[in-house]
């Protein structure tokens, strides 16, 4: 089946949110997804984030969800917030297409760094990123405050 890689449009956001929820379930934290489709629509319209989608037969089967940020050490940075391919389609090269489209977007935006998080137990993801010579940091802890 042919996979089309393209930028998301507003009409894709429901399927994007569904994939985010699928990822949260895989990461054993489905209750953590509290964002609404209305939030997505408002923030997408305000250019808070962007999404590259993988599409097959007019269905979104994978996403690279990202936003611009800034590193005080490196300058402009593209942060990959979520990266997921439907579980039943993993291992077919869709993730490679999406990740390389994300890296191309980073290059086009002239950023100095891309960054993301990966759970320490997610060996398939860690091994995927290592194929790109990614540095998987182990020294830093994540901090957050939910408002």
53-85 pLDDT, tens digit per residue, is 999 999 999 999 999 999 999 999 999 999 999
The DSSP call for residue 142 is P
- Gyration radius of the chain over CA positions: 15
Pull the structure tokens for residue 72: 């005080």
pTM of the full structure: 0.93
pLDDT at residue 145, as a whole number: 80
pLDDT at residue 96, as a whole number: 97
Span 29-50, average pLDDT? 97
Which residue out of 26, 70, 129, 132 is catalytically annotated? 129
The DSSP call for residue 19 is H
* φ, ψ (nearest 5 deg) of residue 91: 85, 10
The residue written with tokens 């990822």 in the block is: 23
Q: pLDDT digit string (tens) for 87-100?
A: 999 999 999 999 99
Known catalytic membership, residue 129: yes
Cα–Cα distance, 2 to 109 (Å, whole number): 27
Span 10-28, average pLDDT? 96
* φ, ψ (nearest 5 deg) of residue 96: -60, -45
Domains of the chain: 4-130 (3.40.630.30)
Largest CA distance in the chain: 43
Give the strand pairing for 113-116 and 4-7.
unpaired
Cβ atoms of 60 and 16 closer than 8 Å: yes
Task: Determine the angle formed by the axes of helices 13-26 and 37-45, rounding to 10 degrees.
Answer: 120
Pull the structure tokens for residue 103: 């890296």
């Amino acid at each position: 089946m042919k996979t089309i890689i393209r930028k998301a449009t507003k009409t894709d956001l429901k399927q994007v949110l569904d994939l985010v929820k699928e990822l949260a379930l895989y990461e054993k934290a489905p209750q953590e997804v509290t964002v609404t489709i209305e939030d997505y629509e408002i923030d997408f319209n305000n250019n808070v984030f962007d999404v590259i989608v993988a599409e097959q037969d007019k269905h979104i089967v994978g996403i690279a969800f990202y936003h611009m940020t800034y590193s005080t050490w490196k300058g402009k940075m593209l942060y990959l917030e979520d990266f997921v391919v439907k579980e039943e389609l993993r291992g077919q090269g869709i993730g490679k297409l999406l990740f390389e489209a994300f890296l191309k977007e980073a290059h086009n935006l002239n950023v100095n760094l891309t960054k993301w998080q990966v759970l320490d137990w997610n060996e398939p993801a860690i091994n995927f990123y290592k194929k790109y010579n990614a540095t998987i940091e182990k020294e830093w802890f994540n901090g957050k405050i939910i408002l």
